[in-house]
Amino acid sequence: MLRFAQSSSRTFLRTMSAQASSTIPKTQKAWFLNETGDLDVVKYDDFPVPKIGDKDVLVKNKYAGVNFIEAYYRKGIYPLQKPYVLGQEASGTVVAIGEDVQGLEVNDKVAYVAGASMAQYTKVGSDKLLVKLPASTSDDQLKIYAASMISVLTALTFTKECYSIQKGDFALLYAAAGSAGLAFDQTLKKAGARVIAVASTDAKLKLAQEYGAEFLINSSKEDILERVQQITNGEGVSVVYDSVGKDTFETTLDAVKRKGTVVSYGNASGPVEPVVLAKLSPKNVKLLRPRIFGYLGSQEEWEYYSNELVTAVNSGEVTIPISKTYSMSEYKQAATELEARKTTGKTVLEIS
């Protein structure tokens, strides 16, 4: 009887998926590129709706986060396959499911980390970085999740895996008022770190302070290394989280203390030049170049960190302020402001 009930339920779900699939268009609006270059190479046009495999789901996106990493792909800093559909994270509703998908149904609300999210529809592996959300999840909550997935997961994994924060550790944090920076401000403070925030304006620093930073350095008018030495009484910091890259790397190496850790995770000013490993020897410095996917490679890791994410977001323990929501067609304007360092918090696209 139980086996029959399970089979009937499964058949019903497949019927729902087939019915939903019949209403899915063949083409969609998406942001994509066929060549590398400046923002003018990015196109907003018709693009095929992806076909799902047995272990995939098709998500109709409601909101997508705007991330600086798209500039790295667009400029050719990171390799990509063309045509390349932009986007790394989003939230929305499942509209079709593959034959072997377990635990998800058509009409489920989800948030995920996966490529090609700046499109009306995205194919996501059901065994990938996807979170099923409660049926009661509102549009405002979907927006919060689209703004939080990468930033919060980055902060949660890096502050646990790259360096184990001890109470009282000094942590130097660049871009402290961006979406990832604000997530770091909060997670580092909770872990007991004394956060030294670096940003380019007093307004950004004030925001970083509101979210947990203890010390503030205005990089447009203060010497970062000099201020770090003052704050730490000449010892240096235990860990540096550097998303700027080329322009700050030497300062970062000088600012970290003996046996400290450098976490280089971005290229906002350009890629770091090749490093002679002997430069790390005088202070026995540890140097990492992590990505969140390397910490979420197993099902156990994903379950742990996705639960941490949901708890942090739902409780308000980690919040990412959304600076502005653009319509889907306005991506270029959103990217221009982000790349010009004119934003704080997170920028989100509403997909329609």
Q: Give the residue ranges of DSSP H helices in the chain.
A: 2-21, 69-74, 139-157, 179-191, 202-210, 224-231, 249-255, 299-315, 331-339
Domain assignment present for residue 54? The answer is yes
Is residue 144 situated within a structural domain?
A: no
Are both 205 and 278 inside the same structural domain? yes
CATH of the domain at 102: 3.90.180.10
Regarding whether 22 and 130 lie in a shared domain, the answer is yes
Same domain, 341 and 229: no
Does 176 lie in the same domain as 238? yes
The pair of structure tokens assigned to 142 is: 């979907």
Establish if 91 belongs to a structural domain.
Answer: yes
69 within a domain of the structure (yes/no): yes
H/E stretch holding 346 reads strand 346-350
pLDDT in tens, the chain (352 residues): 333 334 444 555 554 555 456 689 999 999 999 999 999 999 999 999 999 999 999 999 999 999 999 999 999 999 999 999 999 999 999 999 999 999 999 999 999 999 999 999 999 998 889 999 999 999 999 999 999 999 999 999 999 999 999 999 999 999 999 999 999 999 999 999 999 999 999 999 999 999 999 999 999 999 999 999 999 999 999 999 999 999 999 999 999 999 999 999 999 999 999 999 999 999 999 999 999 999 999 999 999 999 999 999 999 999 999 999 999 999 999 999 999 989 999 999 999 8
User: Is 2 inside a domain boundary?
Assistant: no
Do 30 and 131 share a structural domain? yes
Q: Do 82 and 180 reside in the same domain of the chain?
A: no
Residue 224 forms part of a structural domain: yes
CATH assignment of the domain containing 233? 3.40.50.720
Range 116-146 burial, b when 16+ CB lie within 10 A, else e: bbbbbbbbbbbeebbbbbeeebeeebbbbbb
252 and 284 belong to one structural domain: yes
Max CA separation in the chain (angstroms): 74
Question: Are 65 and 199 contained in the same domain?
Answer: no
Tell me the residue range of the domain where 339 lies.
11-137+321-350
Same domain, 97 and 184: no
Taking a C-beta distance cutoff of 8 angstroms, is the pair 175, 167 a contact? no
Number of structural domains (the chain) is: 2
Whether 199 and 238 share a structural domain = yes
Q: Do 247 and 194 share a structural domain?
A: yes
pTM as predicted: 0.91
Identify whether residues 125 and 237 lie together within a single domain: no
